[in-house]
Chain A
């Protein structure tokens, strides 16, 4: 069964460093998402991406964040200058699309645990 994959599973970085989190969505999916989950808290939406551009983003997704689909398979989240509060689990998700306005089921990857020291 196809699944979303994410690398690395755990990333440790120093405050102020740039990190890139990688995701390979399910191959026939068209919509891609990043969410984050601070330890013990709820899952929060960051950004959605469709047709090579951001379609929605939350207040959390400020200028230090960016997303890219550099090729036909990868979907990346870059954090330019990490802060301590960026420490969280970051989930990538993808879905086939929507029929009209109906959202499809989002399938989540296993997550990347980011630790900022």
Chain B
């Protein structure tokens, strides 16, 4: 079974603080793909990153970084020096190699307070 768990329902931070959003996944597939999407208040889903199961290198893109650890089945997302514009719901998603549907977590609502 494919499952994504985002245990943090809501997080509030003060602007310029760093924040980490947790994502834990379950899959029986040996090849799989992990994604993060951002859903701002306007409602659209914005693609942030795609990572395959063979690539455990951490990735940094500006203030965003991702830490993929197969040993703990986690794919955590860190925002450094948070800004008000980072306020959104963030979804982690999983896709296996037996189909191409995405399995989404329940999302983490991030509020950055000015």
A91 to chain B, nearest CB (A): 6
Instruction: Establish whether residues B95 and A103, one from each chain, have CB atoms under 8 Å apart when the complex forms.
Output: yes
What are 16 contact pairs spanning A and B, CB under 8 A? A31-B100, A35-B104, A41-B106, A42-B106, A43-B102, A45-B103, A48-B100, A56-B100, A98-B100, A103-B33, A103-B95, A105-B47, A106-B35, A106-B102, A107-B47, A111-B44
- Report Cα–Cα, A101/B99, bound state, in Å: 8
Instruction: Establish whether residues B31 and A43, one from each chain, have CB atoms under 8 Å apart when the complex forms.
Output: no
> Mostly helix, strand, loop or mixed at chain A's interface?
strand
B107's partner among A42, A58, A102, A107 (CB-CB below 8 A) is: A42
Residue of B nearest to A9 (CB): B43
Instruction: Establish whether residues A102 and B43, one from each chain, have CB atoms under 8 Å apart when the complex forms.
Output: no
Q: Tally of A-B residue pairs with Cβ under 8 A?
A: 65
Number of chain B interface residues as a range: 20 to 34
- Report Cα–Cα, A56/B47, bound state, in Å: 22
- Report Cα–Cα, A86/B56, bound state, in Å: 39
Q: Mark B32-74, 1 if CB is under 8 A from A, else 0.
A: 0101010000111111001010000000000000000000000
